A and B are shown apart, each in its own frame.
Chain A
Amino acid sequence: MTTMMNEAETGSPGAVMPGASSVAAPKSSRARQFWKTLLSRKTVMVSLAVLIIAMLTALLAPLIAPYEPNAPDLRNALKPPSSDHWLGTDALGRDVLSRIIYGSRVSLAVGFVSVAIAGSIGMMLGLVAGYVGGKTESVIMRCIDVMMSIPLIILALFIAALIGKGLGNVMLAIGLGMMPSYARLTRGQVKSVKQLDYVTAGVISGTGRIRNMFKHILPNCLSPIIVLMTMNLGMAILTEASLSFLGLGINPPTASWGAMISDGYNHLRTLPLLSLAPGVAIILVVLAFNVVGDALRDTLDPRLRGAL
């Protein structure tokens, strides 16, 4: 997962050059071409189907889940799979399938929100650093270097320990932990877009700094940032699962896939499914996000089309 981030970040081989998608064709035709290329691979179609199913499961959890996910039923504790409980029950008698269904809400919410936090803060910092330059850039980028010298999981552990457990805090911790990649990527993009003629023309014609940054530069830096966001969705889900596994993530009894794996580990000998089933859900969703992210990268960068 780190490479996916790195590839998009460093500009090689997956990053999109500014303006790479700007071909002289009508907008609707370009959009059609984009979707046609994106959906031309079967794996992308399957991944999108997995993601749609996961999102529907999260949205419709109360309607789909056969049992209340957090209601203990000690008389039915640690039951193997049966027609009543398809994936069995955990140590507190809670239905594992229902908890996996509800767990999708946590995972997807963490994925989307933390990536949005990382993207928005990182983009702003990168935009300012790249556009203003000089000492401002040095200060921002040194702080980014500092954050990048600490592994994501350790940084997230740190922040989670600082602000406490819970859904919102985990999103914030992961978002802040992933933010440096966006700042670095945006800065690089801004610095190259800034040199283009139309930006210079804007400056000469008296366009204000803020307007230039947000109206002329930022929109032309977005492609690789969107690709990185898609790729980071899976990473955010994995990091949340890791934090919950370590006991520093979502507060119990809320169902979280990572915490379910951790809880089930104590009963691995008797009921391995308790730990193994939530892991399969994580792999499916993360894999689907990664495949879509890869395809998006290839589609937005015509140089790599067909190479990967």
Chain B
Amino acid sequence: MVTFIIRRVLQTIVVILLVTVLVFSIMHLMPGDPVLMFLGPDASVEQIDHYKKQFGLDLPLPVQYFKWAGNLFKGEFGDSLVYRQDIGPLILAKLKVTLTIAIPAFVIAVTIGMFLGIMAAIYRGRWVDSFITVLANIGMATPTFWLSILCVYIFSLTLGWLPVQGFTFPSEDFALAVRRMVLPVSMLALGPMAVFARQTRSAMLEIIRQDFIRTGRSKGLGERRVIYVHALRNALIPVVTVMGMQLGYMLGGSVLIEQVFVIPGMGSMLITAILNKDYQLVQSAVLVIAGGISLCNLLVDIAYGYIDPRIRIS
């Protein structure tokens, strides 16, 4: 198991290092001069030179990369051109906002999605199964931003129950924060919820047909115990894998949700940075996102190794 963990940790480090190379290369291949874009077409040559020097953009690309990567190890992300502030604290503040929305959404998606999946598998072929399956299929085919707009129209503009947009931390004003978070959290949870429901259903159906379940039933175990203890524990393996992937999907989805609900999180910051060619900020934000996802996948793989001994042996 230790060898397995060491191998996966090393792989993750290599992936994160390669992400830094990829992100850096992509951002510097972009057409357009970020300094010119930032200062405007009327900027003088002196001003441009000054800014390029200030942000290190006058150095050769490999030097810029190593300087940037070296600073990353020291925890220094550099300064943002657009926000005119240190990127580290900026990303931390934005990440806090995004996670305030994403964590409850993830918990809701996992619990409700798995519950629906189990129900569909237990009542396979009946109306409950058909209803959940159809709902899950529609959930996966619906653009999140469109459904968000529809919900804003119904619950905010027509019924007036919820605010149209905005964000408040629960620590500032709990009641307002909850009212403002209802729509974004449920919209962000919907897609992954459908995925978890489908995955749990498939995994449960696969497990239910296996011999050890038949043995459990034939030796007189209660149906509840067979389903929730023996079947679910084994069905969890593929579901856990999907959890890691869905976390990435949620961070991607938050870009759209934050645009619709005007939430000042990582997603809207990333769009602003891309549109304004703020190299440093985009690099750092994508690195944080990719690093976070790689780390989650690492944890999932380690958990997977514990759950299923066949994996760590192979």
Contacts and interface: CB of A to CB of B under 8 A. Distances in A.
B89 interface: no
A68 B147 CA distance: 28
B246 A2 contact: yes
A12 B304 CA distance: 15
B15 A246 contact: no
A106 interface: no
B242 A3 contact: yes
Contacts of B147: 279
Contact of B195 (A3, A145, A161): A3
A252 interface: no
Majority secondary structure, A binding face: helix
A75 interface: no
Contacts of A4: 140
Nearest to A150: B290
Given A142-B15, A268-B149, A275-B149, A13 B246 contact: no
A268 B153 contact: yes
B149 A13 contact: no
Contact of A151 (B143, B271, B293): B293
A258 B27 CA distance: 25
A245 B198 CA distance: 27
A3 B242 CA distance: 7
A149 B246 CA distance: 12
Interface residues of B, number: 60
Contacts of B294: 149
Given A149-B290, A151-B293, A162-B29, A242 B145 contact: yes
Interface string B140-183: 11110111011011000100000000000000000000000000
Interface residues of A, number: 53
Contact of A146 (B22, B245, B270): B22
A110 B18 CA distance: 29
A83 to B, nearest CB: 25
Given A159-B26, A261-B146, A282-B143, A269 B157 contact: yes
A14 B140 CA distance: 17
A3 B14 CA distance: 26
B163 to A, nearest CB: 14
Interface stretch (B49-57, B79-87, B210-218, B251-259): B251-259
A7 B290 contact: no
B240 interface: no
Contacts of B252: 151-154
B18 A146 contact: yes
A107 B49 CA distance: 44
Interface stretch (A121-129, A182-190, A200-208, A283-291): A283-291
B96 to A, nearest CB: 19
Given A154-B286, A279-B147, A282-B141, 4 more contacts: A6-B245, A7-B202, A12-B238, A286-B141
25 contacts: A2-B242, A7-B199, A7-B202, A12-B206, A146-B22, A150-B248, A150-B289, A150-B290, A151-B249, A151-B252, A154-B286, A157-B255, A161-B30, A162-B29, A234-B141, A245-B143, A246-B255, A258-B143, A261-B145, A276-B146, A282-B141, A283-B138, A286-B142, A290-B137, A308-B202
